[in-house]
Structure 1
Amino acid sequence: MGVAEDAKVRSVLAALTLLALLSHTNGIAEGPEAARLAPGPRAAGQHRRLKRGWIWKQLFVPEEDPTLRVIGQLKSDSDRGEFGIQYILSGEGAGDAFEIDEYSGEIRTLKKLDREEKAFYVLQAQAINRRSQEPEEPQSEFIIKVQDVNDNAPQFPDEPYVASVPEMCPTGTTVVQVTATDADDPMFGNNAKLIYSILQGEPYFSVEPKTGIIVTSWPDMDREAKEEYLVVVQVKDMLGLSGGYSASTTVTVSLSDINDNGPIFQHHLYTFAIPEDAVAGTTVGTVKAEDADTGINARMTYSLQIDLQENATFTIRTDPLTQEGVVLLAKPLDYETKRRYVVVAEAINEETDPRFLPLDEFSDRTTLKIMVHDLDEPPVFLSPFYEWKVAENAAAGIAVGVVSARDTDAANDAVRYSFDKRSDAAKAFAIDPLNGTISIAKALDRETSAWHNVTVFARETTQKRLSSSVVASIKVLDINDNAPQLAGRYQPYVCEGAQAGELIQLLSATDLDEPSQGHHFYFSMVPDKHINPNFTIRDNQDNTAGIVARRSTFTRKDRRRYLLPVVVTDSGSPALSSTATLTISVCSCQPAGHCPSGGVEALALSMGVSLQTFVTLLVCLVLAAADPLS
């Protein structure tokens, strides 16, 4: 039962007690005085006594009691023991949980009750005069309260518990609070008074008996020695007295890491070997420092001491996944110049905390000895890549550029140059095998290929014929060698009701060239001494133009089509142009301006066939398709 519900019961009981006191002070008497006030046969016109009172004891019933018993008695102060009054019980539980002796007013239980299911019952009592069948007392409400017994064990509704505290935390650090609940009445005795204790986990942890707050009780707990503890907490009701119930729960306590360990290299000396032909970025080897911490506290960065000249030749990178130091070659090696390098590497924690370690203990050092192996090396190009530009109208034989390589070995053998013959780009260029000059072999066309990537080989003339390669990229620069064209196969038409100035068709153009300033097209009509009376071209100055009607009243009866030459000129130097003749059909347009037959007529006219012949052929084809024997 909740606190609010229990308060309601107490208020009702207090009111009933006060009512009983008031009833006794308002004239309820015993002995002769009571006999005088006792009811008898009424004379005509005799008035009923207005002041009556109920007499009953406070009613309680213990829960879980299987014995059917009398728990109280209701009695009117007008009852003289002559069985002249009938007592009636109604309300919650009447006839099911409780019954009343109609003669004596005694209330008995009919079954075992459970406080946790229902804590109190609200009933109504009546006292009826058996002769007149009228109430001797007004109907009154009273409460039967179910008294609690300790029949429920405490429970941990939120178990199991998982908690974490930092390692090395001070004694008394709060870990977690475990909370048990008990369904018994907390306001009645000690049935729901709980007390907590530790069954397992001492001496590292303790629990506050009344609150269930678990705290640390052992100093300097080290995660690296033991990371997880299992704490078992017991709770007892009745303040732990004998005869009560108990329950237990487990709390898994893990120690979170703090940075109380520095990195330590596995070896004091690492030896690596690398061939002298290794390129910059080649991995020389890896070193690893161990850190007993975890997570961010174990993260470290590696560096090379900057006071040694060898550090310019090598670098070290920290692998974020493995926490290894990856030693890399920073610049080319030469066995003939230097054969051995000695480098000092350092590992240092990213996060440091002077509360746990001195700052100099958050790092460690080791020595790297790197040996260079001698190799017969292939020729080396003076540049890692080459890129040149050439105009697309350059003549065959024009030199584009020169590649150069040399043998870096002491022998310094001669080098010969060649192309990768499998490359199509190599067919457009030639290379001088002695000096590496690349020249144009045939005419170039930017519109066909704007870039050529040529693989050049440099090969020694010795018996091993070691070789290396480099890519030469040649960009073909554009010249204005393509005339612009109309962007589509336009089939313009003009409606019979078109007005002068009406736009007939919007035109645009394309050009295979790629001028540096972008395209700009100019649209015009073929120059003629006579002005076209029917149409004109209006250049919109945005690379589009419109065909505009110059007159009105076009009719199919007068003429079905018009031919209009259109000239498109680009902005190149020199400028190029093209002329396209458009066929403008006259159409009997629908109200929305749509020309349903314009396309068919235009196709028929473009094929040199009359409309009537074309329709006849179309009908024949339809009939032939419908005849299954054809």
Structure 2
Amino acid sequence: MGSGEEKQRWTVKMSAPSVLATVTVLSLIPGWVLSSQGLEAQQLAQGSTHLHRRLKRGWIWKQLFVPEEDPTPRVIGQLKSDYDRGEFSIKYILSGEGAGDVFEIDEYSGEIRTLQKLDREEKAFYVLQAQAINRRSNEPVEPQSEFIIKVQDINDNVPQFENEPYVSSISEMCPIGTTVAQVTATDADDPLFGNNAKLIYSILQGEPYFSVEPKTGIIVTSWPNMDREAREQYQVVVQVKDMLGLSGGYSSSTTVTVSLTDVNDNGPTFQHHLYTFAVPENAPVGITVGRIMADDGDVGVNARMNYSLEDLEESTTFRIQTDPVTQEGVVLLAKPLDYETKRRFVMAAEAVNDHMDTHFLSYDEFKDRTTLKIIVEDVDEPPVFLAPVYEWKVPENAMMGTVVGTVSARDIDTVNNPIRYSIDKGSDLRKAFRIDPNNGTITVAKPLDRETLSWHNVTVAAEETKQNHLSATVAVFIKVLDINDNVPRLARDYQPYICEGTQAGELVQLLSAVDPDEPVEGHHFYFSMVSEKHINPNFTIRDNQDNTAGIVARRSTFTRKDRIHFLLPVVVTDSGSPALSSTSTLTISVCSCQPTGHCPTGGVQALALSMGVSIQTLLGLLLCLVVFAADLLC
């Protein structure tokens, strides 16, 4: 044989569980790919039929097996070269993963043994290299080759559930077979070796309502029409076992909390066929009369409901609304009550679900009715006047004792207590009126004067004479009517004057008049002069028929030299019935007027003359006034 194709042979003794085989591993041409797949011990035993086949140089090591968790050191295989003649001339060397601390080789015999307990879940296999070296030359007699020691699995791990805790919800009344949840467990053992990691699921608690698919862990319902109102939550305990559930395997369990969600499969139901409430007759509008409640086994939106009152005539006095928090029907007063008019109300109340799912119930099953009886309680109420306000008129010349009017009040309670009347003193400070305490008749107590006070606002009280002596008040407005009891007078204190040189027919003074009375058709005054035997040659009164009159000059020869004052009586008459009049005497002064018609000195001259001043003094004073006026004009 040539050196390139020299044939050599290794012998490997391999121990495996229940099998011990001697395997001849032949060399191949270097460079071939080394196999990473091995055979089980049984396969290695079958390979013994090829012990004497001679192959080309190069090693292909089959896998060696060692059981995990074995605490006893033991020989798991033996390497031997064909060059080994038993003379211990060959030295065997082991290197690679775990060499020296996990595995060791007897350098003389080539036996491979374990040094410690192995854990497949920590490390499933080890890759090692073997060498055979001539002790004398220290040269390899075989090329280095690689092989694998595989840790053989045993069932030493408990399956564990993932993603705990499990919480799920399904609708109540769901059909059988509805998926609830899926539980998943894992096992750290080798899934490719035996049944160690082959899991199976079963129900420990939760039957007959739920079941689990043994291989997938999918939980489904197995009971029809589960009712949330009967039971809302279930605790389903699921067990998982390895070894396909066979004896000797490990198991663990988990709990799945299953809640039933609500569907609208219940309608409202009143617990009572009749609800009775009492309310006082003086209760304010809007007050709560009472509450009614229709039970609904559902929750949330499925339990929401609306209430209504069915009797239209009765329900106008009351109304009902839903309390959004408690879902109660709140009965409220919508109109004032009167015990003496109506003492009892009877009406129907209906509750209807907001949300209706006719898949579970018919339309009529989503509503219910009951009867409401509301009793009106009598309350001792104050008297009530027959009119909300009284308004009368009385002439101002009414005699004391004149009847102005009569107020009337009554006790609206069934006892009908007698009433006593009185006038509030604060409202009639003048004490102009009095009232009969028994019949409410108001009469004049003092003379009235419209010009002093034209309206009297009087407060009249009516009080019950028995029981609680309740009282009420009413406003009485009394208007004092005008009569013609005031004479007309000139509007002011007139001081007329006439200029020298005034022509006949010229207006000297315009007059107007006033009268405190207020006749219905308004004032109409008549102006005239006092009747004399002879006509006044100097002045006359011209009535303008518009409640004014003018003093008119009748001649043109007025001079201060002749006369400086004229007295003119003026008579003013009203249109009343009877007519009243007054006479005022006016003093008309004669004045030397300026070109503008102004009389600056008339009053001063008149005052001086009345004090007995001399003519010379007056002329001097007049001259000074003229000079002063001229300076002003310049």
TM-score between both structures, scaled by the size of structure 2: 0.53
| 1:476-533 C-alpha deviation (Å, 9 max, x unpaired) | xxxxxxxxxxxxxxxxxxxxxxxxxxxxxxxxxxxxxxxxxxxxxxxxxxxxxxxxxx
Q: 2:260 aligns with which of 252, 255, 261?
A: 255
The alpha carbon displacement at 1:162 in A equals 3.1
1:16 aligns with: 34
**Closer, same or farther: CA 128–332 of 1 in aligned 2, 3 Å:** same
Q: 1:277 aligns with which of 268, 273, 282?
A: 282
Q: CA deviation at 1:324?
A: 1.5
Rounded Cα–Cα distance in structure 2 between residues aligned with 1:458 and 1:206:
88
AA aligned opposite 1:17: S
Are 2:193 and 1:175 equivalent residues in the alignment? no
Q: What is residue 349 of structure 1 aligned with on the other side?
A: 353
Counterparts of residues 381-530 of structure 1 (less than 5 Å) = 409=412, 432=427, 461-462=463-464, 464=468, 466=470
Matched, 1:328 2:349: no
| Alpha carbons 2:68, 2:153 under 8 Å: kept | yes
1:128-180 Cα offsets, whole Å, 9 max, x none, are 33222234455444332211111112222444533322221101011111222
One of 289, 292, 305 as aligned partner of 1:287 = 292
Determine which of 314, 320, 332 is the counterpart of 1:316.
320
Letter in 1 for 2:103: F
Counterpart among 123, 130, 134 of residue 139 in structure 2: 134
> What is residue 203 of structure 2 aligned with on the other side?
198
2:272 matches 1:267: yes
Q: Post-superposition shift, 1:369?
A: 1.2
**Is 1:108 aligned to 2:148, yes or no?**
no
Give the corresponding residue for 1:376: 380
Q: Of 101, 105, 130, which residue of structure 2 is paired with 1:125?
A: 130
One-letter identity of the residue aligned with 2:292:
V
Structure 1 contact 20–54 (Cα < 8 Å) conserved: no
In structure 1, what is the Cα distance between the partners aligned to 2:196 and 2:38? 31
Distance 2:301 2:423 in 1: 55
In structure 1, how many angstroms separate the alpha carbons of the residues matched to 2:366 and 2:53?
Answer: 102
Residue matched to 2:544: none
CA distances 1:350-405 after superposition (whole Å, capped 9, x unpaired):
22110100011011001111121222335899xxxxxxxxxxxxxxxxxxxxxxxx
Q: Following TM superposition, by how much is the alpha carbon of 1:94 offset from its aligned partner in structure 2, in angstroms?
A: 1.7
Task: List alignment gaps of at least 5 residues for structure 1.
Answer: 1-13, 22-28, 35-50, 382-405, 419-429, 435-456, 470-630
Residue 242, structure 1, aligned to residue 247, structure 2: yes
Which residue of the partner structure matches residue 171 of structure 2? 166
User: Which residue of structure 2 lines up, in the alignment, with residue 59 of structure 1?
Assistant: 64
User: In the alignment, what sits opposite 1:526?
Assistant: none
User: Could you say if the C-alpha distance between residues 152 and 336 of structure 1 is closer, same or farther in structure 2, counting changes exceeding 3 Å?
Assistant: same
Query: SS of the residue aligned with 1:122?
Result: strand
Change (3 A) 1:459 1:349: farther
The answer to whether the Cα contact below 8 Å between 1:459 and 1:466 also exists between their aligned partners in 2 is no
Amino acid at match of 1:142: F
Q: Which residue in 2 is equivalent to 1:88?
A: 93
How far the C-alpha of 1:103 sits from its partner, in A, is: 2.3
Query: CA deviation digits over 1:212-269, x for unaligned, max 9?
Result: 1111111122223333333222221111222222222333333222211111111111
Matched residues, number? 376
Distance change >3 Å, CA 18–CA 203, structure 1 → 2: closer
Is this contact kept in 2: 1:56–1:73, CA < 8 A?
no
Hey, what's the Cα distance between the residues in 2 that align with 1:141 and 1:380?
A: 121
CA distance in 2, matches of 1:87, 1:202: 64
Contact 1:96–1:110 under 8 Å retained in 2: yes
| Counterpart selection for 2:368 from 359, 364, 367 | 364
Given that residues 162 and 183 in structure 2 are in contact (C-alpha distance below 8 angstroms), is that contact kept between their aligned partners in structure 1? no
Q: Describe the shift of the 1:458–1:255 C-alpha distance in structure 2 as closer, same or farther (beyond 3 A).
A: farther
CA gap 1:149/1:414 in 2 versus in 1, 3 angstroms: farther
Q: Which amino acid aligns with 2:74?
A: R
> What is the Cα deviation at residue 125 of structure 1?
3.0
Deviation per residue, 1:16-47 (Å, 9 max, x gap): 338999xxxxxxx998999xxxxxxxxxxxxx
Q: What is the CA–CA distance in structure 1 between the aligned matches of 2:472 and 2:82, rounded to whole Å?
A: 125
TM-aligned CA distance change 1:253 to 1:30, over 3 Å: closer
Give the Å deviation of 1:460.
5.6
Q: In the alignment, what sits opposite 2:344? A: 340
Q: 1:107 to 1:355 in 2, by over 3 A?
A: same
| Residue of structure 2 in register with 1:43 after alignment | none
Secondary structure of the corresponding residue to residue 16 of structure 1: coil
Flag the 1:319–1:333 CA change in 2: closer, same or farther, 3 A.
same
CA contact (8 A) 1:277 1:333 kept: yes
Cα distance in 1 for partners of 2:319, 2:209 equals: 47
How far apart in 2 are the matches of 1:179 and 1:20?
32
Q: CA deviation at 1:337?
A: 2.7
Mapped partners of 1:114, 1:368: distance in 2? 81
* Pair 76,280 (structure 1): closer, same or farther in 2 beyond 3 Å: farther
CA 1:339–1:154 in 2, change beyond 3 Å: closer, same or farther?
same
Cα distance in 2 for partners of 1:117, 1:407 equals: 106
Q: Deviations over 1:578-613 (max 9, x none)?
A: xxxxxxxxxxxxxxxxxxxxxxxxxxxxxxxxxxxx
Shift of 1:195: 0.7
> Is contact 1:265-1:289 (8 Å) kept?
yes
Matches within 5 A, 1:573-592: none
**Distance change (3 Å), C-alpha of 1:20 and 1:172:** closer
Change in Cα spacing, 1:172 to 1:407, as seen in structure 2 (3 Å) is: farther
Counterpart of 2:35, as a letter, is: T
Higher Cα radius of gyration: 2
CA distance in 1, matches of 2:98, 2:460: 108
Q: Partners in 1 of 2:166 and 2:53 — Cα distance?
A: 72
Q: Deviations over 1:45-73 (max 9, x none)?
A: xxxxxx74236442121111233222233
Mapped partners of 2:150, 2:209: distance in 1: 47
Please tell me whether the aligned partners of residues 407 and 415 of structure 1 are also in contact (alpha carbons under 8 angstroms): no
Report if aligned partners of 1:407, 1:414 keep a CA contact under 8 Å in 2.
no
Contact conserved, 2:317 with 2:333, CA < 8 A, in 1?
yes
Q: Is the 8 A contact 2:463 2:472 kept in 1?
A: no
Q: Which amino acid aligns with 1:216?
A: T
**Judging changes above 3 Å, is the alpha-carbon distance between structure 1 residues 465 and 146 closer, same or farther for their aligned structure 2 residues?**
same
Q: Deviations over 1:272-307 (max 9, x none)?
A: 1111111111111111111222333222221112x5
Distance 1:461 1:160, change over 3 A: same
Q: What amino acid sits opposite 2:88 in the alignment? A: F
Asked whether the equivalents of residues 98 and 108 of structure 1 are also in contact (C-alpha less than 8 Å), the reply is yes
Q: Partner residue of 2:530?
A: none
Q: How many Å separate the matches in 1 of 2:422 and 2:236?
A: 80
2:362 maps to amino acid: P
2:235 and 2:58 map into 1 onto residues whose CA distance is 65
**Paired residue type of 2:190:** D
* CA-CA distance at 1:108 after TM superposition: 0.7
CA distance in 2, matches of 1:18, 1:371: 98
